[in-house]
Amino acid sequence: MTLQSAAPGTRTHAPGLVSHMGPADLEAQLRRDAKEGLTAPDKSIPSKWFYDYTGSMLFDEITRLPEYYLTRAERQILRERAADIVADTRADTMVELGCGLSEKTKLLLDAFKRRGDLKRFLPFDVDGEVLKMAATELLERYPDLQVQGIVGDFERHLEAVKVPGTSLVIFLGSTIGNLNEEQRGSLLAQLSGALKSGDSFLLGMDLVKEVGVIEAAYNDSAGISAAFNLNILSVLNARLNGNFEIGSFEHLARFNPDTEQMEMFLRSTRAQRVRLADLDLEVEFAEGELLHTEISAKFRREGIEQELVSAGLEPRRWWTDAGTNFALSLSSKL
């Protein structure tokens, strides 16, 4: 269901949601990911499972930390360039991949509101509850906007961005960096295939810079990044009837200069055995053994623009913040 436009200044009802992933789909995917990742020689869990309600709230807190420059830098670019983006794209529909709480998105929505072009906003996220919360807040702020949340995995359900009119698809926060090069190529190709002539794609990327600055953003003094990382064990405990002892793991985040990416792990502080009853699975951890939870690639302009071109997208605009820490790239369909 898509919401109908309301008279300006009136409050609408709750946003509609279209789900491409029901609870059973999410459960099956988590089971596959957990079983494959925890039985591999190098144990891992995909970072998408960070984002239950607690994880989403912790990440929102991370974005406000002094060490976490990414959000401030991206917000600075959006404040300075939102009007240019709106004028350049002339979109009547905006789609946000991995929207979370859509905080920075309001800078674009405000610019669209001033211009009067935008009719529809489609926030896209794997977490239906966070999506509903964000969409409801946006409806209160933009009561004449049609809002339809899309619950799905942007690595699998990008057909959902095919909508009438002229679209701007946005992918902010350097979430693209959580994918390896092969995954990025697949996602960008799928997105290119879903876009029409005249559609645009706005991509946020963290740039390569001094290693100490990068590493501090993932090792904040308040310990919020550590709590966010460890929360993935709480997700596994809650959803797969696990018995991870959270206090027996510690947060580890370090920059890999060979791949130019941050790598995040949980390190077992002792030899231990963990059981996931719903999978009938027992997992042995040696003291010091790592569980890989996330990558965060850092980009150079020439590299990401080549990836966009290879996917069938034409980079047209490139903006950075004053410190050249972060970039926004605006592309169109080739």
- pLDDT for 24 equals 84
Cα–Cα dist 116/262, whole Å: 40
- Record the tokens describing residue 252, joined without a space: 């580890």
- The pLDDT tens digits for 60-94 are 899 999 999 999 999 999 999 999 999 999 999 99
- pLDDT for 214 equals 98
- pLDDT for 88 equals 95
- pLDDT for 7 equals 36
Q: Is the pTM of this model over 0.85?
A: yes
Q: What mean pLDDT do residues 24-32 have?
A: 90
- The pLDDT tens digits for 103-159 are 788 999 999 999 888 999 988 887 777 778 888 888 888 888 898 888 888 777 788
- The pLDDT tens digits for 276-320 are 999 999 999 999 999 999 999 999 999 999 999 999 999 999 999
Please check whether residue 217 is in contact with residue 207, taking contact to mean a CB–CB distance below 8 angstroms: no
Report the chain's terminal Cα–Cα distance, integer Å. Answer: 32
Q: Which residue has the higher pLDDT, 233 or 4?
A: 233
One-letter amino acid at 300 equals R
* Portions of the chain given CATH number 3.40.50.150: 16-20+68-208+299-333
Answer yes or no: is pLDDT of 5 > 60: no
Residue 63's region, left for phi above 0, alpha for psi from -120 to 50, else beta, is alpha
Closest CA to 232 of 291, 166, 310, 168: 291
Answer yes or no: is pLDDT of 39 > 90: yes
- pLDDT for 167 equals 95
- The pLDDT tens digits for 198-238 are 999 999 999 999 999 999 999 999 999 999 999 999 999 99
- Fold (CATH) for 16-20+68-208+299-333: Rossmann fold (3.40.50)
b/e map of 162-199 (b: 16 or more CB within 10 Å)?
A: ebeebbbbbbbbbbbbbbeeeebeebbbbbbebbeeeb
pLDDT grade for 162, boundaries at 50, 70 and 90: confident
- Average pLDDT over the chain reads 90
